[in-house]
Structure formats: structure tokens, C-alpha cells
Structure 1
Amino acid sequence: MGDKANAPVIIIKRKKVIAGGGHHGGAWKVAYADFVTAMMAFFLMMWLLNATTEQQRKGLADYFAPTITVSRVSGGGEGMFGGTNMMSDDALVQDGTGQSGGVPIDGDLVGTQESAAEVAALQEVEALLLGIGGESLVQQEALRHVVTRVTDEGLIIEVFARDDAPLFISESTEPAPVLIELTTMFARTFDLVTNPVAIEGHTRTRPLVIAERPVWDISTGRAETVRRLLEAGGLDSLRIARITGNADRDLARVEALSVRNNRIEIILLRIEN
């Protein structure tokens, strides 16, 4: 009995082993990976906003919108930047820009290979204009003033002023450098087709308190300035079909005083058969 009472007490200590690197495990690694992925997506989005034109951003938005199959204002074509194809009956009915059955010719709605080829040529010009911005950062910045669309009338190239970048100097008819650069690019690109060209000038509303509101003279004078710039860039003067000053009668924005209403529309007209 005495020997058992004096025997040493044996204590067994069990050590708990936790795999995965410390008491937090590996959950922090998953959280960190999600954070890095989110930041990468954020910076990619910011880069796209800075590196694309308004037209391209609209096309990207339409591309990723599951409920929008055709853009109402983007250019024609079936590429990444989407748009309305004039030769698609569904698109024409949906947009309200025409009817099914082709393009009116001599009073009849007849779809022809010639009209399809003409639309394809106009869309080629549009695609080339949208792709020019990749040549330099300067041209990319200039194309932020441009949106295009193919309609029954033809390819409409809308050049608009921005809050920090007007097209004309001091509300006059003197062109700003960005407009000179754009018209030079347009004249070079228009050599792809032989369509006649129409030029329309638009201005924002002037306050009613001003004694003289020269919106008609300014819009017409700006359209004339663009005609001279296009011809200086190499456009044949015989292709100019008309020059129109619309003043503030056809606003692009509901806010009549918005700078966005200061714009020029250059139209490659459909060739009448």
C-alpha cells in the first residue's frame, strides 16, 4: 500500500493541431482574393470610362443589358457596339424608324440588293469612324464629341459640344481645334463612298432677356463653316447636297440652355434610285 501511495502521478497532455495556418484558418485568403478581384474590376471600369467615346459606352451598356437587344441610338452593325440594322424588319418596327419590306423606291416598298449594299457601305464608314480613336489619344479625345446612327435618311454623324470642350470659339462660328480635327478625319473617311452630304447646324436656346437672339444666323454660319472645313479636308464640293440652320428648334436635350444642344449633324445621304 505504501508503495502505491508514493507512486508518481502520470498526466497525459493532448495537443490539438489546427491545420490551415493559425487560429484564423484560410478564410482571410478567400476574402483577400475577392477584394483584389473587385478592385481589378473597378479599375477596369474606370479605364473603360476614360478610354471610350460616348458612342462606344452606349454600345457596351446595350451589350450587357439582358433586356435590351437593339440600341436606339448606337450605330448600325452587328459588332460589339451593337446598333440598329436598317435592313432588319424587327429592328425597324421596334425602333419606329420604318416599316418591314425594305426601303421605299418609286413609292413601293421593295428591298433590293443595291440598297443593302449601300447600307453596308454606310456601316463600314461608321465602323471606321468609331475605330479611328485607337490611332492616338488626341483622336480618341476628339471622338468623344461624336455619336453616329444609321437611319432611313442615311448615316448621321452628330458632333456635339461638351461642357469643357466647345466646338466653336465664344459662341461664334469660328471653329475650335477639335472640330477642325474631326472634319479632317470625316473628309478622309467619306472617300469610301460617293453619297451626297448634308450639313445641319443646331444651337442651344439663348435667354429671352437678350435683345438679339441670333440663333438662326449662328446655326447656319456654323453649318457653312463645317462645309468649308470638309472641302478643305478633301471632300468634293459637288457632293454637298444642302446646308441647313435649325437654330434651337430641334433640341437634343430637354434643357434648352444645355451645351449639348450645340451640335452639328453631318449626314451621308442615301442615294435615291
Structure 2
Amino acid sequence: MSKEKSRIIVKRVVGGKHQAHGGSWKIAYADFMTAMMAFFLVMWLLSIASPKQREGIAEYFNMPLKVALTGGQKTSTSSSVIPGGGIDHMEVDGEVKRANADAADTERLRELKRRLEQVIDANPVLKQFRPQLLIDITSEGLRIQIVDSRNRPMFDLASAKVEPYMSVILREIGPVLNELPNKITLAGHTDATPYVLGAKSYSNWELSADRANASRRELISGGMNEDKTLRVMGVASTMNLNKADPLDPVNRRISIIVLNRRAQAQIEQENATGGNAGLKIDNQKDAASQIREGAPGTVDGSKVGTEKP
């Protein structure tokens, strides 16, 4: 046995300590608290907003993104994955510019809608007739409808004579319409109550057209520019507001539409096309008449002349 002492090795087991978890949980907790603060801030802002402000916010989010970007029902006519209309999206032609113009036009009409609502709220006379004023945005533009009621008719019975309160409404609205260059159309509507002789004599067609023209005159008397009107028409009872009851007084109304850019261009194009077609027909008739009757300097429609010496 060796005389040397054996070396004794002692192993001391140190108790395990808790490992630090780091600070990642703090970042997640801070993000959560930030999101909660933003949420409660939004809820607080909605609680103090007026009903009109909440209506405007809801109307903004109800507008489809496709309509906001491209205007109307069209999505894109280009083959590009990104709707736009060409490689260079800064070009003046293509869908990008048209979409921007349509969006700006819609925003101007929305601003006019807010302006009209402010005028109505600020005027005590108009405010009491607020239930009879319907203002909304349609595919053609900003529509202002003044509807009849059983207790407050807009016109005399079976007449185009404007009642005093109706005159006040139209004359207050007239100057506001001048704030945009957009033209307007007016349409008169009646209920389905027929005249004694029906459509053979003076009927709802003539009455609705006369009431639309009477409304146009009141708008101009209030300060609206004379060249603002693009179309005036009477549609009788063909477009009832309450389709379930054709005799409902609300079907008797005046509809004013502040046209958007597309609707105005379409109407102007239709009018121009019709005018050119009519002029062409008239020219053809004149030429045919000259051939039949023999215009001066012609024989049986054939030109004759004198030879130079």
C-alpha cells in the first residue's frame, strides 16, 4: 500500500438560482397599455361627438374602398396588378387622374352637404322644417329633396303656386348652391291622385313640370345664378318615395341634384349629341328639298354653270 496520502476531492453543489426572465414582457405590457389607452381615447371622443359628427364618420366608412379609389363601379381597365392605368402613375392620362378628380369632386359635394346642414341649423325658420328636407349623396351627386306633408303642403292644391315657407326654403338654399361650379337639375314629383280628364288634358305631368319651374324661379330670386340649371323636368308620380302608398303626401316633392363631374358631363354629352343629330337631319331635309324643287343654278338637282369664254 502506498505511503502517500490519497488526495481527497470534495464537490460542493451550489443551489440553483432563479434565472432572470429579461425585459421582453415589459415591452409587450407597454404595447398592450398603449393600445388600451388609444381604445379608450377613441371611445371618449365618440362619446363627446355630436350626432352629425358621428353620422359623418359613419358615412365616411360606409363608402367602399373601390368607389373611393376608382369612382363608380369600375375597378380597373388596365392589366397592371396595381389599379392605376400605366407604368408611370404620374401621367396626366389614365385612371389615376380620373380617380383623384372624382374623389375631390365627391369631397366638395360632401362639404356642400355639411354647409347646407349648417345653414338649416342656423336659420330658425328652416330648422322647423328640417323633417321635410332630405339631403343625401347619390351616384349623380348631392340630392336635396323638399317633401310635402299633410299639414304643410309646399304648393297650393293642384297648383304650382309656391307656399310662403317653401319660398323661404328655396331662397335660402339658392345662394349656397353658388359655392360650387357644379350645375343642378330640378325634378318635380306628384302623388298618384289623377285629374278628372286623366292625361288627356292638364295632368300630373304638367303640374310636376310647372312646380319644378316655379322652384327654379324661387332659387334664382334667392340669388342662385341663372346659368346654374342644366335640366328641369316633371316626372309626375313615376318615382314615388313611398312605393307602398302612391297617395302618400311625401311623394309630392321637389328634387334638386347638384351634379357631380361625371353626371354633368354625361348630360352635356347627350345634349350635344342630340343637337348634332338634329342639325344633320335638318341639313339632309334641306338638301332633299332642293333636289325636289330645283334650287337656283340647278336643273333637276344637277349643277349647271356657264363656261368661261
Partner residue of 1:161 out of 125, 132, 148: 148
| 2:212 corresponds to | 223
Deviations 1:146-174 (A, max 9, x none): 11111221101111001110111123100
Deviations 1:220-245 (A, max 9, x none): 00010011111111111112100010
Q: Contact 1:220–1:244 (CA<8 Å) still a contact in 2?
A: yes
Equivalences for 1:182-197 in 2 at 5 Å?
182-197=169-184
| 2:228 corresponds to | 239
Whether 1:114 and 2:67 are equivalent positions in the alignment is: no
Matched AA of 2:206: D
Residue 84 (structure 1) shift: 4.1
Aligned with 1:155: secondary structure? strand
| 1:262 corresponds to | 252
Q: Contact 2:194–2:204 (CA<8 Å) still a contact in 1?
A: no
More deviation, 138-147/245-254 = 138-147
Residue 90 (structure 1) shift: 5.1
| 2:54 corresponds to | 80
Residue-pair matches, total? 189
Deviations 1:67-113 (A, max 9, x none): xxxxxxxxxxx9322464599325969xxx952649xxxxx866522
Deviations 1:100-140 (A, max 9, x none): 649xxxxx866522221211111111111112233243220
Aligned with 1:120: secondary structure? helix
Distance 1:188 1:231 in 2: 9
Query: In structure 2, do the counterparts of structure 1 residues 85 and 202 end up closer, same or farther at CA, with 3 Å as the change threshold?
Result: farther
Aligned with 1:193: secondary structure? coil
| 2:272 corresponds to | none
| 2:160 corresponds to | 173
Query: In structure 2, do the counterparts of structure 1 residues 243 and 218 end up closer, same or farther at CA, with 3 Å as the change threshold?
Result: same
Partner residue of 1:211 out of 197, 207, 217: 197
Q: Which has the higher helix share?
A: 2
Residue 207 (structure 1) shift: 4.4
| 2:126 corresponds to | 139
| 2:298 corresponds to | none
Distance 1:125 1:211 in 2: 43
Whether 1:200 and 2:187 are equivalent positions in the alignment is: yes
Matched AA of 1:264: I
Unaligned residue ranges in structure 2 (runs of 5+): 1-45, 77-93, 266-309
Query: In structure 2, do the counterparts of structure 1 residues 192 and 101 end up closer, same or farther at CA, with 3 Å as the change threshold?
Result: farther
Q: CA RMSD in A?
A: 3.0
Q: Contact 2:178–2:225 (CA<8 Å) still a contact in 1?
A: no
Tell me the TM-score normalized by structure 1: 0.62
Distance 1:109 1:87 in 2: 23
Partner residue of 2:136 out of 149, 156, 179: 149
Q: Which is higher, the Rg of structure 1 or of structure 2? A: 2
Unaligned residue ranges in structure 1 (runs of 5+): 1-62, 65-77, 103-107
Query: In structure 2, do the counterparts of structure 1 residues 231 and 86 end up closer, same or farther at CA, with 3 Å as the change threshold?
Result: farther
Matched AA of 2:158: E
Aligned with 1:192: secondary structure? coil
Percent identical pairs in the alignment equals 23
Q: Contact 1:122–1:154 (CA<8 Å) still a contact in 2?
A: yes
Query: In structure 2, do the counterparts of structure 1 residues 180 and 136 end up closer, same or farther at CA, with 3 Å as the change threshold?
Result: same
Distance 1:206 1:86 in 2: 41
Q: Contact 1:205–1:256 (CA<8 Å) still a contact in 2?
A: yes
